[in-house]
Amino acid sequence: MQDINYLLIKSFIMKNISRALFLSSFLVIFLFSCKKDEVKNYFEGGTAPVLSASTTAITLGYTTATDEAIKLSWTNPNYTFTTGVSSQDVAYLVEIDKAGNNFTNPQKQTIAVSKALSLSISQTQFNDYMLNQLVLPLNVQSNLEIRVIASFSSGAEALVSNVLSVTATPYAIPPKVPVPIDGTLWMVGDAAPSGWSNPLPTPYDASQQFTQVSETLYELTVNLPGGGGYKLIQQQGDWGKQYHMLAGGTWEGGDFEKKDSDPQFPGPVSSGTYKISVDFQRGKFTVTKQ
């Protein structure tokens, strides 16, 4: 009887030892697996892209507008992680600005490029950048700077290329908005001293008439009461040939078009003397307090 009990007890102990060894082995494998899963992929660095161009003296012309103005190329920044060089796509920003601004100008031209290591810009595109974005003078050679910024979504730092210096002279294109037929322009509305009278009575027919600075630029310096709105008319008593602001503008500036429509130009919020500049070449207006 004692022998049978001894054997039963021994068998029970051996089974539990085997079970304990199995559980220990499973636990070791599980812990090792968890530890292995905790290995992270860290960013180790990259190389700033090297920017080059097909030319540094850009030629622009109305008759060759569709031709290439410049082709920009840059090297791969080779973003590297602990697992090696990344094969994921890199995004690039091409920045164009007037020389000396150090790319701090809020009006600098920025072009997004995905994956590619080059960018071709046509003459009409580059001319548009100079006229409408950088607002550079017509038929005057300007000094510009170009750079490329590489970025990666996985927390890697942005890498900035070298800066290229180029020159270009913007050419005149047909005005974006038709110019006044007779070379005359007035402001009318309750943002002005005259109110909405059209035609304008004396003395407002003189005090609210713009000066033609060039074929496409008109300016007016005038005392305004603050608030209200106004339209621009090119002929006294005629609303059909008026100009109005396009949606998205503010009293300080925006885009406009020739059309008998709303919205009107909003007047400055406070009274004072203001200079209103209307640029038909670019289809833009600006208002500055004097």
CATH of the domain at 247: 2.60.40.3620
Same domain, 86 and 134: yes
* Residue 89: per-residue pLDDT: 78
Q: Are residues 116 and 198 in the same domain?
A: no
* Residue 8 lies inside a defined structural domain of this protein: no
Distance CA(49)–CA(90), nearest Å, equals 11
Residue 9 domain flag: no
Last residue of a domain, one of 118, 142, 168: 168
Burial of 278 (0-12, 13-18, 19+ CB in 10 A): buried
Question: What CATH number did the domain enclosing 138 receive?
Answer: 2.60.40.10
Domain edge (last residue) among 111, 133, 168: 168
Same domain, 134 and 201: no
What is the predicted pLDDT for the residue at 36? Answer: 47
Tell me which residues of the chain have a pLDDT lower than 70: 1-43, 82-88, 153-156
Is 147 in the same domain as 201? Answer: no
Placement of tokens 């943002």 in the chain: 191
Judge whether 163 lies within some domain: yes
120 and 196 together in one domain? no
Residues 6 or more apart whose CB falls under 8 angstroms from that of 31 comprise none
**Which domain, by its residues, includes 230?**
186-289
The verdict on 70 and 164 lying in the same domain is yes
Residue 173 domain-assigned (yes or no): no
Q: What is the pLDDT of residue 144?
A: 98
Cα–Cα distance measured from residue 226 to residue 197, given in angstroms and rounded to the nearest whole number: 18
pLDDT of 252 reads: 98
In this prediction, residue 17 carries a pLDDT of 53
**Domain final position from 107, 140, 168:** 168
Same domain, yes or no, for 131 and 195? Answer: no
Q: Which stretches of 38-132 are DSSP H helices?
A: 123-128
Asked whether residue 108 is assigned to any structural domain, the reply reads: yes
280 and 248 housed in the same domain: yes
Query: Quick check: is 257 in a domain?
Result: yes
Same domain, 152 and 95: yes
What are the φ/ψ torsions at residue 102 (nearest 5 degrees)?
A: 55, 30
pTM score: 0.64
Q: How many domains does the chain have?
A: 2
The answer to whether residues 137 and 194 belong to one domain is no
Please check whether residue 214 lies inside any domain of the structure: yes
Residue 138 lies in a domain: yes
Where are any strands of DSSP class E within 103-141?
A: 109-114, 118-122
- Return the bridge partners of 22, or none: none
The answer to whether residues 85 and 43 touch, using CB atoms and an 8 Å cutoff, is no
Within a 10 A sphere around the Cβ of 156, how many other Cβ atoms? 20
What distance in Å separates the CA atoms of residue 269 and residue 225, rounded to the nearest whole number? 9
Same domain, residue pair 231 and 148: no
Alpha helix (H) residue ranges in the chain: 2-37, 123-128, 204-207
Q: Are residues 50 and 151 in the same domain?
A: yes
